[in-house]
Structure 1
Amino acid sequence: MSSKANQKAMPWNELFSEETYRSSLCDKILPEYMMTTRWYAAKTQKAKTYRIEQYMPFLLEDGATAFLITIEVNFQAGFTEYYLMTLLFTEDVSEIDKKGRVHQTTIGGKKGWIIDALYSETFRKALYEQILLQKTITDGNTKLVFERGKVLRSRPEYESSQVMNFDQSNTSIEYNGKFFFKMYRRLFQDANPDLELTKFLSDESEFKNSPAYGGSVSWIKNQYATLSLGIMQEKVENKGEAWNHTLDMMKGYFERIEATDIEIADIQTVKSFDFKSPEELKSDFRLLISDDVLSKVEQIALRIAEMHVALFSNKVDTKFNPIAFNGDYTVWLKNRIIYQLNARFILVDENVEKLDGLAKQYAQEFVDQREEITNRFLDFQEVELNSSRIRIHGDLHLGQILMTESDDFYVIDYEGEPESTIRDRKVKQTPLKDVAGMLRSFHYAVYATIFSSKNNFKLSQEQLFEAGEKYYQAISAVFLNKYVNTAMTNNLDIGYQSEIRYLLKYHLLEKAVYEIGYELKARPDWVIIPLTGIRQILED
């Protein structure tokens, strides 16, 4: 009997011990399926090889066996990425979403489908119960470790589960309508910062405006490598991301300008990096923005400051204790930014002729100012900085903040910048980098409102830009005032005003340069937003 025929006769739970079978999955079946998913991040990269690096059997209560597998993808560009899949063979796929169907085949003489096991309720239930029981599954030198957090100490029984449709880089499962389990798809040879920070904030700090830690699953490969596979969190009842609400609020601002026929030149101008309370804005400007918006901006700033105060609080654990700026950090920062900056210059130079109008003008200016921008980054001097570095969110923007029914705000998704390595995501930095991320997000929201096809403003684009910039500077000043006052009151070491402004300008420029890459690849018309931000910073 041939090898293939022999494999077809073998039961599913024995097949994975056959290297030829694992290789056959990687030849075509798994790569083709991964290309259909939202979580496979490297669709534009050419892969050389796919390999099942390791696998772990996971027994279900109906006697079936699922397999957790890590897939090593080697790319022609010379880098390697690792992804997690859960596989299960089933004869009946009537209840399995089409997105979860990997490959139709015959195994052990039975016709059926290999599926992504997350789409099987039997698997989801077993996963939940493993976390509740904190059982460890061992296979040879590796083991799966299941941990239960404080919010699951009462061990609530399994009731129901569903795979959520908002999965992107990860896959999320809702349990009992009260908890979310986020299965990480791209894996790193270290604990995921999302898990570390969520657990710390939930179980070891006073910060309450982040989803409570419910548990986790980790793959211990050996004493040196721990892979975070997923995290359980308490569900935060919400009205959606702050991003969408911010767009609605900004739309109202432009509509009120049109309704009042006010001259945009007469609207108050707030200087960059000013700190202002809402009461310090002129009354007519406050009416255009609205007190409700200013109150929400202050509340977001308050919660972010409280998050940073919590992350600053641990003085013992080396993963979290605050540290000073030093030469090693400066070398790391400059190398990282200059590498990214050079890639952006090349990208803009290659695409400048494809742009139109102001976007083309600003892109050419960016290329022409290469030396000045490079020198701005190289001029970073740690000896003049007296503030502290801490673990930060690392990818903070309005899309990472949930708004509740009571108009409060929760911070979510602590994984860090998608382009960064796992080691870089864990480097302690100034909390003002997160603040810079928020200011850039407000700037984006202004232009997203202007560019939206849903809005039919009567103002010209030039008028919208001018009014939008005034709005941005005002809410930035209110945000900074609330953030800095809260930080200072709670002894968060962010330096004095001159140092705060210096670090903000530095990281605003860094963020804007980072954004250029995404916009040119995904929506070139929007590259004017980060390019405008860069112009403003260079002119200040």
Structure 2
Amino acid sequence: MLTAEDLRQARWFGGKSRTIASTRVADSGMLASDAPFYLLEVSYADAAPETYVVAHRLEDPAVAHAVLAQFRGSTVGTERGRLEFRPTHVLDTTRRDELDPARMMSGEQSNTSIRFGNALILKLFRRLQFGPNPDVEIGWFLTEHTSFEGTPPVAGSLTYTSADGCEASLALLQRFERNHGDAWTTMLRRLQSVLEGANSNESLEAVRRLGATTAELHLALATPTPDAAFTAEAVSAADVEAWYAAIQEEVRITANALRQHGTEVDMPALLQRAAGVRSLENTVKTRHHGDYHLGQVLERDDGSYVIIDFEGEPSRPLSQRREKRSPLRDVAGMLRSFDYARMAALRAGDMYHPGRAARATGWYADARGAFLGAYLPTAQRLLPADVGPALAALELEKAAYEVMYELNNRPAWLPIPLAAFSAGP
């Protein structure tokens, strides 16, 4: 069993900053032959316990293929529960000669992924959370009930059921999408050229493609269905008041944190911006991405986009991440990502050079216009006639989240969200 020190060294362990009080094995079993796993419950002195999935020997290609074979439809007992491997039609269309080599991918923090040739990718969720996983259920919905081509089709999923009948997602199997990097990397490369004086047309055309793909995603998530978890609903007065209260609370928490660091903000102005969320009443709420930014999008070789990772903001409870909201919440997240991109590109060179700074500011304004210009005409039936007030409120909500993250993790980056939080886009 992993020791406390072993856990702190594990890339996927999320409790590195907490004091570990104790650990215990909650269940154990075999994912496949020669692939043991166990569920490790970690208790903290200063926080609620968490359970992590510890799996061994997955770096061995033969073991990885043995696990993959289980997705044909196996049920496996564990010491105190069971595992269910559930396939979709996508797995039946996968050619076996495309599944080599099997190798574990590097770079991930919270999950572990294994790539099978150019055909499939298996994501193992390291933190066990009971209840439907948004990444799994949204992936299944888009694969089985829509024609949307901007996300990797689901080939299967792995579910753990405890002795008392509670379910949790352990893994998601998807088609591997060939790409030449995430949109953060490709957009930053284009943007750096713009800051050096290149024409911005290529980068803005890429932004337009992303806006169009985002609109197609939101329409797909509004596809009529008898599944109550995905049925589009009208936004009620109670909805907008609850959202307004939540944004108010987040703004107050953020303002208090900033005050402790010597920064004051104009609370009446912030709360007035937050009230813009009320303009969403009588529009449509659906499932949405929930943590939408350039790093959650892959760019294919032909320039089209693939949207990934529908888990939502990891710090929020699972129930919150499954809530239906206005699709504009994703739009706000992407617009905030453009702001981060322009500042990251600016910081990569002489950020005080007046020409570069002016080009960065101009590009950000143009990128916002290009994205919304491509997005709004397609998604209009889901939105208010004037998206401005709601978008300002939702960007404020996202900026508040970013300020708290940067205060706690990357203080040097704080000026980026602080400017948006204090004054807006």
Question: Structure 2 length normalisation: TM-score?
Answer: 0.92
Deviation at 1:159, TM superposition (A): 3.9
| Equivalent of 2:384 in 487, 490, 495 | 495
| 5+ residue gaps, structure 1 | 1-24, 87-115, 257-287, 353-363
Q: 1:323 aligns with which of 217, 233, 243?
A: 233
- 1:422 partner letter: L
Amino acid at match of 2:24: R
Q: Per-residue deviation at 1:150?
A: 1.9
Aligned 1:490-529 pairs, distance under 5 A: 492-496=381-385, 498=386, 500-529=387-416
Going from structure 1 to structure 2, the CA distance change for 1:207 and 1:176 (only over 3 Å counts) comes to same
Identity of aligned residues (%): 27
Q: 1:306 to 1:155 in 2, by over 3 A?
A: closer
Verify: 1:35 aligned to 2:8, yes or no. Answer: yes
For residues 52 and 371 of structure 1, the distance between their equivalents in structure 2, rounded to whole angstroms, comes to 50
Report whether the alignment pairs 1:175 with 2:116. yes
**Structure 2 residue 135 is matched with structure 1 residue 194:** yes
How many residues align? The count is: 423
- Structure-2 change in CA distance of 1:67 and 1:331 (3 Å): farther
**2:232 is equivalent to residue 306 of structure 1:** no
1:451 matched to which residue of 2? 347
Counting only pairs closer than 5 Å after superposition, residues 129-208 of structure 1 correspond to structure 2 as 129-132=69-72, 134-139=73-78, 142-154=81-93, 156-157=95-96, 159-208=100-149
CA shift digits 1:236-263 (9 cap, x unpaired): 111101111111221122211xxxxxxx
Q: Residue 381 in 1 paired to residue 291 in 2?
A: no
1:215 is matched with which residue: 142, 156, 165?
156
Separation (CA, whole Å) in 1 of partners of 2:238 and 2:93: 46
| Aligned-partner Cα distance in 1 for 2:147–2:44 | 44
Is the Cα–Cα contact under 8 Å of residues 325 and 387 in structure 1 kept in the other structure? yes
Moved more, 298-307 or 340-349: 340-349
Aligned match for 1:474, one of 333, 343, 366:
366
Q: How far did residue 323 of structure 1 move? A: 1.1
Q: Could you tell me which amino acid in structure 1 is paired with residue 52 of structure 2?
A: Y
What is the one-letter code of the residue matched to 1:416?
G
CA RMSD of aligned residues (A): 2.3
Matches within 5 A, 1:2-21: none
Structure 1 partner of 2:309 = 413
Tell me, yes or no, if structure 1 residue 533 matches structure 2 residue 425: no
Letter of the 2:326 counterpart: T
Counterpart check, 1:295 vs 2:205: yes
Shift in Å, 1:203: 2.0
SS of 2:378's partner is helix
Q: Highest CA radius of gyration, 1 or 2?
A: 1
Correspondence 1:67-82 to 2 at 5 A: 67-82=36-51
Is structure 2 residue 30 aligned with structure 1 residue 57? yes
Asked if the contact 2:233/2:284 (under 8 Å) is kept, the reply is yes
1:124 aligns with 2:64: yes
| 1:402 has 2:298 as partner | yes
CA deviation after TM superposition for structure 1 residue 154, in Å: 4.2
Q: Is the 8 A contact 1:118 1:163 kept in 2?
A: yes
2:401 partner letter: Y
- How far residue 464 of structure 1 moved from its aligned partner, in angstroms, is 4.0
Deviations 1:215-235 (A, max 9, x none): 111101257521100111111
**Separation in 2 of the partners of 1:174 and 1:58?**
17
Measure the CA separation in 2 of the matches of 1:69 and 1:151: 29
Instruction: Kindly provide the CA deviation profile for residues 468-493 of structure 1, in whole angstroms up to 9, marking residues without a partner as x.
Output: 222211110111011001223xxx42
